[in-house]
Structure 1
Amino acid sequence: MAQIDETLRTEFWRDHDGRPDPKAFRPRSTGRVPPSVVRAQTRLRTAAWRNRKDRSRSPDSHQIGLSMVKALITSRLSELTWTDRDLVARMLLDLRSRGFSIEETKQVLRRMRTRYVDPGDRADQPDHSCGPKIRFKGEEDRLPF
C-alpha cells in the first residue's frame, strides 16, 4: 500500500498551476462596485463603441432607415419597381402590427416629401404648395403615400 501511495504522489500528481480553472461560478469581488462607477464604465464603453463606428464609417440602423425613407420619398411612383412597392407594403404592415396608424405614417411621409422634394417635382400633389405638375406621358398620378 505504501508503494502504491508513493507511485500516486510521484507519477500521477496534479499540477494545479497548469490546469484550467474549475470554478464555473466565481464569487463576486470583495466589494460591490458602486452604481455611479458602473454607469461611468458603461459611458466609457459606449463612447469607445461610437468612436470605432465613426472611424470605420459604419452607419447604424437608424441612419440606414432614414436613407431608405429618403430614397422612397424622393422617387416617383413610376420609378418604383414591384420589389420596391413590396418593401413599402412590408414597412407599412410592420408599423401597423406594432400599433402605429397607417394613415399617420402616410402623413409623415407626405410631410417629409413636401420638405425634401423640389416643388416642381411634386406639383398638383395633395399638399397644394406646388407649381404646375411635371408629368411624363403615361406616368401614374398617385404616390403610395
Structure 2
Amino acid sequence: MRSDEINKIVASIDETRRTEHFRNHDDRPDARTFKPRPGRRVPKEIVRAQTRLRSAAWRVRMDSRAAPSSREIGMALVYSLITSRLSALTFTDEDIVGRALLDLQARGFSITEARNTLRRLRNRYVDPGDREGEPNESCGPAPRLPGEEESLPF
C-alpha cells in the first residue's frame, strides 16, 4: 500500500470514530480516582478567566437590579457639584467638597489638578450662559464688586 492510501484509510477510520463513537462527558460519572488536593496552585490564566466570569456576572446582576456602583454614585455627586452655584451650596456641601479634596491630597493627588479637572467638567457640562463671569479655559475670574457672589470652589 502506498502512503497516500494509508493516510486516506486512517482519515476515514478517524472520521468514523469522531461521528459514531463520541463520548458525552456530561453524562459520564466522575472516573477520577485521584482528585486534585485542595490548596493546589491553579494556573494564573484560569484564575484570571474565573475572575472575568465573576465580574461579568456581578455586572449583569447590578444591571438587572438597576443598582449604581460606587463610581456612578461618585460621578452623580461630581455632576451635582459642577452644576451648582456657590450660593446654592450649604456649609455641609462645602465641607463635603473640602473633605473630598483633602482625601485626594492625602492619597497623593494634587488639589490644583483636581480643581482644574472639576473646572473643565463644569465648562463642558454647564451652559455658557449659566457660567457667565466665571473663569474658563481662556480667561481668569471676572472682577467682582464687594458683596457679589463668590466663584465656585474650583
RMSD: 2.4
CA distance in 2, matches of 1:32, 1:89: 46
Task: Give the SS at the match of 2:136.
Answer: coil
From 82, 99, 104, the counterpart of 1:73: 82
Residue 20 of structure 1 is matched in structure 2 by none
Q: Which amino acid aligns with 1:103?
A: T
TM-score, reference length from structure 1: 0.69
1:126 aligns with 2:135: yes
Residue 112 of structure 1 is matched in structure 2 by 121
Q: Deviations over 1:34-60 (max 9, x none)?
A: 332222222211111111111111111
Q: CA deviation at 1:142?
A: 1.1
Query: Structure 1, unaligned stretches of length 5 or more?
Result: 1-26
Instruction: Assess if the C-alpha contact under 8 Å between 2:82 and 2:121 holds in 1.
Output: yes
Task: Give the SS at the match of 1:59.
Answer: coil
Aligned identity (percent) is 61
Following TM superposition, where does structure 1 have runs of at least 4 consecutive aligned residues deviating by more than 4 angstroms?
A: 29-32
Query: Structure 2, unaligned stretches of length 5 or more?
Result: 1-35
> Residues 75, 139 of structure 1: CA spacing in aligned structure 2 closer, same or farther, 3 A cutoff?
farther
Residue 45 of structure 1 is matched in structure 2 by 54
Q: Which amino acid aligns with 2:123?
A: T
Residue 141 of structure 1 is matched in structure 2 by 150
User: Higher RCO, 1 or 2 (CA under 8 Å, sep at least 6)?
Assistant: 2
Alignment: residue pair count: 113
